[in-house]
Copies of this chain bind each other. A is one copy, B any other.
Amino acid sequence: MPATKEEVAAFMAAEFPQSKCVVEAVGDDGATVSHHIGPGELRPGGTVSGPVLMGVADVALYVAILGKIGIVPLAVTTSLTINFLRKPSADAHIIADCKLMKVGRTLAVGEVSLYSKGSSEPVAHVVGTYSIPPKRDSQDFPAS
């Protein structure tokens, strides 16, 4: 049973309060998140740090999986491949568009294109895999 954008956003806010990612859209086979770049996330030369890009892509993939199969707090990243393509802008949000390629019983695979907001050419591309726990019962969230 899929989760709505609001359900996923509420889960992310409760479980990952330190994340600065905003859930922009959750679709049938994908999701979009945005991330405001702060000064601490820049590297010399005014570019966005690579680990920040990886982290945003990881969240986009997680959000897309939650949207597809429901709130599964124990899903964990098993692998991630990133290719850095262009220098991100220092003063634009990072937008991450995730497209799920497979959501199986135990593994989900998706790709994420990362953009500096306002540009149509990706700054990085990620393929990532999540392991899904055996029992995939959607949990009551938030617990009350």
Q: A residues within 8 Å of B by Cβ?
A: 15-16, 18, 40, 43-44, 49-52, 54-55, 58, 73, 76-86, 101-102, 106-107, 109, 111, 122, 125, 127, 129, 131
Contacts and interface: CB of A to CB of B under 8 A. Distances in A.
Contact of A127 (B49, B76, B127, B131): B127
Report the copy number of this chain in the oligomer: 4
A76 B80 contact: no
Given A78-B83, A78-B129, A83-B101, 12 more contacts: A15-B44, A16-B43, A50-B77, A51-B54, A79-B79, A81-B127, A83-B102, A83-B129, A85-B101, A85-B109, A101-B125, A127-B127
A50 B54 contact: yes
Nearest to A78: B84
9 contacts: A50-B54, A79-B82, A80-B81, A83-B102, A85-B109, A86-B102, A111-B125, A127-B127, A129-B129
A64 to B, nearest CB: 15
- Leading 9 A-B pairs by shortest Cβ distance: A51-B55, A81-B81, A85-B102, A51-B51, A79-B83, A54-B54, A51-B54, A83-B109, A80-B82
Identify the interface centre among A73, A78, A109, A127: most chain B CB within 10 Å of its CB.
A78
